[in-house]
Amino acid sequence: MYRLIYSELSRIVQELSAVKIELLAYALCKVQFDSLEHLNVIDIRDILNSCNNRQIREDFQENAIKLLSLECPICGGSYPRSRMETMFLCSHMCCLTCIKEYYRNTIKEIRDSKALNKLTCFEEAHEISEDVKLNFFQHLGTQVKYEDL
């Protein structure tokens, strides 16, 4: 499996150092299959661009594995970073599917302006200050409407 991944990565990103490609290939071999199912070229590019070719950090492979296999706290699935969404007003993350469902279900439960705070996070509600309200609701509208989420 490693040789196949290494060969494909080398073909796709020819300008990168062999060491960086090798480290990423090993990382991909260590990641759960369900996470690889959602992997795309953007994830690979972001990981490869996380450090330059001359100074590859010692923890490159470890960081690559972390970025490729983040666990969604709602559904328990494993996803690459590009398939995870960070909540607008905090640092909690979940997969794109769960965040879309969370927003849609929570919107249905809102009965007053105070209940809008439930939209800020799936773990804990945050106060929506006046200076971020417009940006927050634009973000929310984008998340709920976007079909690929």
Q: Using one digit for the tens of pLDDT, what is the confidence trace for 65-106?
A: 888 889 999 999 999 988 999 888 888 999 999 998 998 898
- Considering its fold, how many domains does the chain have in total? 2
pLDDT at 67: 86
What pLDDT does 98 receive? 94
Identify the domain boundary among 68, 95, 111: 68
CA distance 103 to 38: 22
What tokens does 6 get? 């290494």
Q: Which tokens go with 102? A: 């969370």
Buried b (16+ CB within 10 A) or exposed e, 89-120: beebbbbbbbbbbbbeebeeeeeeeeebebbb
85 and 64 in one domain?
no
Among 49-63, 78-92, 116-130, the minimum mean pLDDT is found in 49-63
123 and 93 share one domain: yes
User: Does residue 74 belong to any structural domain of this protein?
Assistant: no
Distance CA 41, CA 142 (A): 23
Q: pLDDT tens digits for 5-20? A: 667 676 666 566 777 7
Q: Confirm whether pTM is higher than 0.85.
A: no
- Domain range holding 139? 81-145
